Structure formats: C-alpha cells, structure tokens
C-alpha cells in the first residue's frame, strides 16, 4: 500500500507540475521551487526538468541518485561516486565511476582523481595512469611524486601551492638558530610528513627556542636511491657530488618511504610512517646522544671499551666510577655503560616524551658541547664527495 501511495503521489506531482506550463524553460523557477520543497521526488521532477535536477544533485539522497544514475543521468553517476568516496567507501564509488570515467567532463575527472588521492586510493590512480586516463592536474602531479619521478617533471606552480621546493637553491639558513637543517624527501607522503614534523617542532621547540631551524621541504626525487636495507633506511650519498649544496646548513633530514630511522654522519634517515617522537629521538643523535637500548655490535666493539663520558647520556666505567645518580645502561653488553636516569627515556624508548632531565642535558650539550657535532659535509668528505680533509678514521663513528 505504501508503494502504491508513493506512485499516486508522484503521479499527482507530475500532473500538478505539467499544468504550470508546456514550456519548461519558462517555468524553471517553479520546478526549482518544487524540487527544493521535495528533493526526495527528484526522479519524478527529472522527467519534466532534468536541468533543474542535474544542477541540484547535492541535495538528492543516495536512493534517488542511484535511480537517476540508472536512468542514464551521467552527473548522477559522478555525484554518487564522489559521495561514496567522501564517505570512505571507495569500493562502492568505483562501481559507479570506473565505467563512466571517459564520459565525465574534464573538471569532473580531475575532481574525482583528486578525491582518490585524498582517500589514498593509489591502485585506482595507477589504473587511470596505466590506461592513459589520469587527467592533467594535481592528482597526476601527486602520482609522479609517489613514483619518485625526477623533480623536472613536477610543475613549479603545483610545488608552490603545496609549499615545497624543487631545488636546493631556493632554501636559505636562519642565522638566529644554532643549527640549520635541510629537509629532503623523495616521495609524495614525505612532503606532508615533514611539514607535520616542522609544525610540531615550531609549536614547541626542543630543547629550547632557536636550537634548530628547518628549511622548506625540498623534493629531490630518487637521486639518492634511498631504500630499506637490513630494516634500516640507507641512501647512496655518493650521488651528492652532483649537487651544489647551500651554504650554512649543518644537518640533513632525508625522508624515504620505508625502513627504520637512523642517523649517519649528520644525516637523519627516517620514513614517512614514523612518528614525531621518533623524529625527536633522531634529532638528539645530531648532538651526540646515544641509544640506551643495546648498540649495534660493531659500534660496541670500540665505544664500549672507552672510558668516561662518551655522550651526554652515556658513561663508560672502565676503571672509573660513574657520576652520582647514574644507573646501569643496556647500551653495552660488557656492563660498562651507565645512563643518567633509572627511568626509561626517549633515547631508550622512542615513543616516550622528552623528560625535563634529558631536555636539560640536551641544552647543556648544545651550549657546552662534550663533543663537536658531525655535520653532513663531514660525512660527504669521508665519502670523498667533497675535497675536504677528514680527521675521522672509522665510518662507525659517524653512525647512530
């Protein structure tokens, strides 16, 4: 009975609308009035005033949209796909857009592709790319970034709108900071991840204001071939010889897609899935802090045989007593290592917050350094990339 009543209601609505005029264009405001009054009757109104319905599809519910799409209304196909995407149901969306994508207007294709990017639907973007359907626009640029394409293929206006650079020549140091850091990445997700790290840091600088300044994010493509090797990120920094590096920078943060974070010779390697706390942990390595979990075997072989304070948070007790209050550390398996606190710290467990004790140790290390920080140019020198003299005899001394 309810279905029959609906049929009568739609029929009555059609009859009442048909009495308005034989010329739809003359009475479009009237049809629009009825549509705005009863958008759930969009299918019925569509027969008399398709333009009115097509231009107001955002007001139509999913059931009506589906009915309109089944009637061949292309914009309903598009709106239904877009709506499912924005509701987080990409599988349902694909059922509607994939078969009709070629028939959409260019701006609709671009908007749909942009929404696919926003929902991280990379398989769908790859299908559009491989079938030569991916339109020019932001989605294509994002796909090229994800593919680690050379920077020359990325449009300058896209980079400008998304606040990243395509060249090292556009960045400059900030003299008020003790250390200036180049922020580099080789892929799409790395750009937003580095921006997020910068926002977090600028909201609460550590260990104090003007300790570190971070450059604009620079997209470098796959020039350094950063990959996951034995669980850790490694890059081919011998390729750095081809670059003219900007003067005044101390350290590099290189963000890749996978692999465990690590610091080697003034260069932080970190992936775009890791947290800000991991970033902060690695940042402390720039100033000589050591991990408080077991160090790599190769590093233990030389570091754990030394004597005294070898890092702001590591004391080796070969024939000497540790500072008052310091506790055993797991850093060295020979049981000779001590750390400042009996509690776990950010250097032992990366997801922990920076404690006030370690913040003070960090401040002291920056202002009264126990050891001289190793800058990335020192590492390049070690690799023979730059014609400068190195005093370091072991690559292990560059690594954390």
Q: What pLDDT, in 10s, does the model give residues 341-391?
A: 999 999 999 889 999 999 999 999 999 999 889 999 989 988 887 533 233
Residue 153 located in a structural domain: no
Shared-domain flag, residues 184 and 282: yes
Shared-domain flag, residues 282 and 186: yes
Residue 399 has a pLDDT of 53
Shared-domain flag, residues 66 and 37: no
In the Cβ-directed half-sphere of 105, how many Cα atoms lie within 13 Å?
7
Shared-domain flag, residues 173 and 237: yes
For residues 59 and 91, the model is more confident at 91
Residue 26 has a pLDDT of 43
Residue 77 has a pLDDT of 81
- Local confidence band at 29 (pLDDT 50, 70, 90 cut-offs): low
| DSSP secondary structure code for residue 76 in this structure | H
Round to whole Å and give the CA distance between 117 and 127.
13
Residue 392 has a pLDDT of 34
Residue 51 has a pLDDT of 54
Shared-domain flag, residues 356 and 255: no
Q: What mean pLDDT is predicted for residues 244-254?
A: 93
Residues 6+ apart with CB under 8 A from 37: none
Q: What mean pLDDT is predicted for residues 277-281?
A: 97
| DSSP secondary structure code for residue 270 in this structure | E
Mean per-residue pLDDT of the chain: 84
Segment 41-90, tens digit of pLDDT: 545 445 344 454 455 555 567 667 777 767 777 888 888 898 899 889 99
Token look-up 């009264």 returns 368
Candidate from 120-134, 219-233, 250-264, 267-281 with smallest mean pLDDT? 219-233
Residue 202 located in a structural domain: yes
Residue 393 has a pLDDT of 37
Residue 14 has pLDDT above 50, yes or no: no
Shared-domain flag, residues 201 and 269: yes
Residue 2 has a pLDDT of 42
Residue 269 has pLDDT above 90, yes or no: yes
Residue 340 has a pLDDT of 96
Token look-up 């140019």 returns 377
Q: What mean pLDDT is predicted for residues 160-168?
A: 95
Residue 313 located in a structural domain: yes
Shared-domain flag, residues 48 and 74: no
The domain tally of the chain equals: 4
Shared-domain flag, residues 121 and 82: yes
Shared-domain flag, residues 52 and 67: no
**Structural domain range at position 27:** 1-60
Segment 112-139, tens digit of pLDDT: 999 999 999 999 999 999 999 999 999 9
Residue 18 has a pLDDT of 45
Residue 220 has pLDDT above 50, yes or no: yes
Residue 15 has a pLDDT of 45
Residue that terminates a domain, selected from 248, 263, 286 = 286
Shared-domain flag, residues 88 and 193: no
Whole-number percent of the chain with pLDDT over 70: 80
Residue 160 located in a structural domain: no
Cβ-contact 337, 304 below 8 angstroms: yes
Whether omega for the bond prior to residue 207 falls within 30 degrees of 0, making it cis, is: yes
Whole-number percent of the chain with pLDDT over 90: 66
Residue that terminates a domain, selected from 286, 319, 346 = 286
Residue 162 located in a structural domain: no
Residue 157 located in a structural domain: no
Q: How many CB atoms lie within 10 A of CB 167?
A: 14
Residue 398 located in a structural domain: no
Shared-domain flag, residues 258 and 226: yes
C-alpha dist (Å) from residue 198 to 180, 189, 201, 202, 221:
13, 15, 5, 6, 20
Residue 140 has a pLDDT of 98
Residue 27 has pLDDT above 50, yes or no: no
Shared-domain flag, residues 279 and 314: no
Q: What mean pLDDT is predicted for residues 103-107?
A: 95
Residue 129 has a pLDDT of 98
Residue 395 has a pLDDT of 42
């Amino acid at each position: 009975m309810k279905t029959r009543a609906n049929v009568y209601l739609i029929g009555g609505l059609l009859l009442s609308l048909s009495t308005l005029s034989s010329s739809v264009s003359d009475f479009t405001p009237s049809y629009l009035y009825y549509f705005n009054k009863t958008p759930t009757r969009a299918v019925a109104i569509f027969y008399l005033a398709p333009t009115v319905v097509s231009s107001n599809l955002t007001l139509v519910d999913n059931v009506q949209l589906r009915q309109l799409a089944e009637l061949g209304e292309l914009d309903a196909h598009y709106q239904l796909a877009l709506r499912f995407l924005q509701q987080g149901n990409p599988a349902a969306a694909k059922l509607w857009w994939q078969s009709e994508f070629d028939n959409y207007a260019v701006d609709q294709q671009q908007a749909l592709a942009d929404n696919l990017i926003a929902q991280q639907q990379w398989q769908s973007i790859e299908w559009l790319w491989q079938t030569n359907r991916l339109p020019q626009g932001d989605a294509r640029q994002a796909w090229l970034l994800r593919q680690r394409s050379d920077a020359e293929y990325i449009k300058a206006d896209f980079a400008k709108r998304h606040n990243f650079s395509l060249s090292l020549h556009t960045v400059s140091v900030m003299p008020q900071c003790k250390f200036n850091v180049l922020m580099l990445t080789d892929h799409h997700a790395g750009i937003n991840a580095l921006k997020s790290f910068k926002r977090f840091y600028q909201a609460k600088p550590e260990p104090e204001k003007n300790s570190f300044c971070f450059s604009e994010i620079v997209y470098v493509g796959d020039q350094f071939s950063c990959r996951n090797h034995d669980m850790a990120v490694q890059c081919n920094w011998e390729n750095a010889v081809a670059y003219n590096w900007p003067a005044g920078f101390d350290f590099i943060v290189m963000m890749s897609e996978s692999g465990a974070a690590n610091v080697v010779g003034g260069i932080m390697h970190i992936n775009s899935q890791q947290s800000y706390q991991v970033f902060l942990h690695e940042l402390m390595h720039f100033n000589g802090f050591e991990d408080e979990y077991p160090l790599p075997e190769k590093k233990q072989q030389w570091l754990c045989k030394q004597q005294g304070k070898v890092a702001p948070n590591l004391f080796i007790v070969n024939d000497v007593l540790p500072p008052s209050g310091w506790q055993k550390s797991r850093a060295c398996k020979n049981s000779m290592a001590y750390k400042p606190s009996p509690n776990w710290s950010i250097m032992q467990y990366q997801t922990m917050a920076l404690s006030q004790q370690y913040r003070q140790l960090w401040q002291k290390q920056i202002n009264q350094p126990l050891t001289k920080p190793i800058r990335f140019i020192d590492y390049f020198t070690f690799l023979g990339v730059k014609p400068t003299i190195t005093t370091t005899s072991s690559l292990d001394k560059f690594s954390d």
